[in-house]
Chain A
Amino acid sequence: MTLDLLPIGQGARIVAVDWSALVQEEASRLRSLGLEEGARVAVAHRGILGSRDPIAITVGRMTVAVRRVHAAAMEVEKL
């Protein structure tokens, strides 16, 4: 299952990231925010009015907004 499909509030761990699907600057930005293999994450919020974009993800004690395409590149396992 990929991160964008994770139900809100469900804790998960990122097990694999398809870095090649992301632009290089975006990839390094995501890494620097701690969104990479091994991180414990949960989906906190989704975008407005039924759209599923963007997505607010909690990682550690931080909340990070990303686009759905970024989350779709991250394979997670539920905890």
Chain B
Amino acid sequence: MSRQRKVALVGNPNAGKSALFNALTGARQKIANYPGVTVERKSGRFVLPTGEPVEMTDLPGAYGLDPTSPDEEVTSKVIRGAFAGEAVPDVLVIVLDASNLEQHLVFAQEVLALGKPSVIALNMVDLAERDGLVLDPAVLAEELGVQVIPTVAVRRRGLAELGEAIASAGERHPGPGLTRIGATERRVAAHAMAAAAVLSESKRHRLHAKLDQVLLNPWLGPLILLGVLFVVFQAVFAWATPFADGLDAAVSALHDGVAAALPESLLRDLLTDGIITSVGSVVVFLPQIVILFAFILALEASGYMARAAFLMDRMMAHVGLSGRSFIPLLSSFACAIPGIMATRSITDPKDRLTTILIAPMMTCSARLPVYAVIIAAFIPNTNVGGGVGLQGLVLFALYVAGVLGAMAVALVLRRSMTRGAASGFIMELPKYQMPRLKDMAIGLWQRAWIFLRRAGTIIFMVTVVLWVMLNFPKAAPGESQVDASIAGKVANGLAYVVKPIGFDRDMALALIPAMAAREVAVSSLAQTYAVDAGDDEEQQALELGDQIKARWTLPMALAFLAWFVFAPQCMSTIAVTRRETNGWKWPAFMLFYLFALAYVAAGATYWIAVAAGL
């Protein structure tokens, strides 16, 4: 039995490669990174009509074999068998967008010139026909010397024929026409071939040109974008609430069930108060992340995301970034982790690094529990006019503070640590398409799984470590466990550091477990005050909000809010930054500058509030 053969899909970005890959391999895909680089490797199983199973990989989209981005470098190396640890594909499926032949044939010729067994999938022929373009695949097959199969991935048209063509693709020699070297010659040839393959072409009344007239209109376009963003935010925060509450209740039930079922012991406490509570506090964000990604995937698949990048480019250029940074930063409002992962689409490495470094300043959903408790306790729910509440206004101000901070930092970074030639913005605006439910479902499942796996590994480990620090060594009789623990000792030391910015020891203590995730600060404060209240029933009965109100001053509360606008208190963000930047240098820098900003912001807030007599 010989080894399993490998088939790779190659093509320009926006050729419909991923949809074809999904149609061929189904939902059972393996997603990993290529070793040493942050480029996604997608593979799956496909059974040829001969019954032979092959491993199919979806190579990153590329415009040429001369790489201009990490994605293109991977594709170029894998095809030529120059990528260490990655077997060279036995058959290449070159995916072309039927309505963009003139462009896509340039890269196709370059790949075919390598002489590897190849098949061409003439994809999205239905969209081309919708635009009035009818093509003859036989003309292309003759010119290029390989089989050309018309496909419509999303309707599963042409998949069986493609399978047969893959099975029969054998060794071949590049035809005489394919040995041309030089991009210009290939382009001239591509133009001629594309023209020769046209059977009929009616007057182009293309739908997307009309849509662009509206969506890219200099005045209407930004308004529509604003409306879209408003709906996305509304959905993330409002629609997710019932699901999040349900998950929260389930976590509580699990906590109580385990607590009741096991005898009282250290292990039980670790399981319930440690692991279930902390992992649960992260898992409750799953509905928000799924809803956000549903929108992002739909906007991306429809082609609108590229228009959003186009509209935002001018503003991003003011701080030295480009429109491409807009999507990752938007994602970061739900959670910086998917946001930082989304920076992979930014081609310029310095742009990408800057975007990663400022992403944690977008107000993520983990900050909301902290903001909610403190705002509810200290900010009166008064109407400041026009139906706008003061509490909502403060929350909005915290969001704005994060965005302004991020813009200021980007501006400084682009002039110092990530200085470089003004980053360009060169981006294809793909055709509009109706997002396909199946592709969306596969994408959503992959994102949700990455998120859950992270909660199950990193957060799990950090929780165990922090739990040990809070519970050991054991307190002597008459001494509080908090004071005796390693974490308590650290907090006592930390209290000196944060005293100048108005924080007391309890606040300092809350900051330590909140390193795992910001929202832990809330449960940690609750826990500390519960321990502190001891047997005093009157004290115990107070809600956390009332406890805070009784113990903190308004300047302290405002300083605490200001701290959380900037403080990088999220292990997962640090971990994902380390992975995406391949080292500890940038996560270390991120920690340093964000803590410095948090310290200055909290201190300034505290002393200004005190001076104002609040």
Contacts and interface: CB of A to CB of B under 8 A. Distances in A.
Interface stretch (B31-39, B96-104, B437-445): B96-104
Nearest to B188: A38
A61 B100 contact: yes
A23 B427 contact: no
B64 interface: yes
Sorting the interface of chain A by its residue count into under 10, 10 to 19, 20 to 34 or 35 or more gives 35 or more
Given A25-B68, A48-B221, A66 B311 contact: no
A32 B426 CA distance: 11
Interface residues of B, number: 42
Contact residues of B: prevailing secondary structure: helix
B354 interface: no
A26 B102 contact: no
B546 interface: no
A66 B426 contact: yes
Given A29-B347, A45-B216, A63 B99 contact: no
A29 B187 contact: no
Nearest to B12: A32
A54 B306 CA distance: 12
B212 interface: yes
A61 B190 CA distance: 13
A49 B219 contact: yes
A65 interface: yes
B216 A56 contact: yes
Contacts of A10: none
Contacts of B323: 54, 65
Interface string A32-52: 111011100000111111110
B424 interface: yes
B314 interface: yes
Interface in B220-249: 221-222
B593 interface: no
* Interface of chain A: mostly helix, strand, loop or mixed: mixed
Contacts of B529: none
A33 B63 contact: yes
Interface centre among B66, B209, B313, B347 (most CB of A within 10 A): B313
Contacts of B209: 44
B218 A49 contact: yes
Contacts of A78: none
A77 B197 CA distance: 28
A72 to B, nearest CB: 12
A62 B100 contact: yes
B295 interface: no
A3 to B, nearest CB: 13
Contacts of B426: 26, 29-30, 33, 64-67, 70
B140 to A, nearest CB: 16
Given A53-B317, A56-B429, A65-B426, A32 B222 contact: no
A74 B136 CA distance: 34
A36 B106 CA distance: 13
B14 to A, nearest CB: 9
A31 to B, nearest CB: 6
7 A-B pairs with the lowest CB-CB distances in the bound complex, closest first: A32-B63, A63-B429, A45-B216, A26-B424, A60-B102, A32-B64, A65-B427
14 contacts: A25-B68, A28-B66, A29-B68, A32-B66, A32-B107, A38-B187, A48-B314, A56-B212, A60-B100, A63-B208, A63-B429, A64-B428, A64-B429, A66-B425
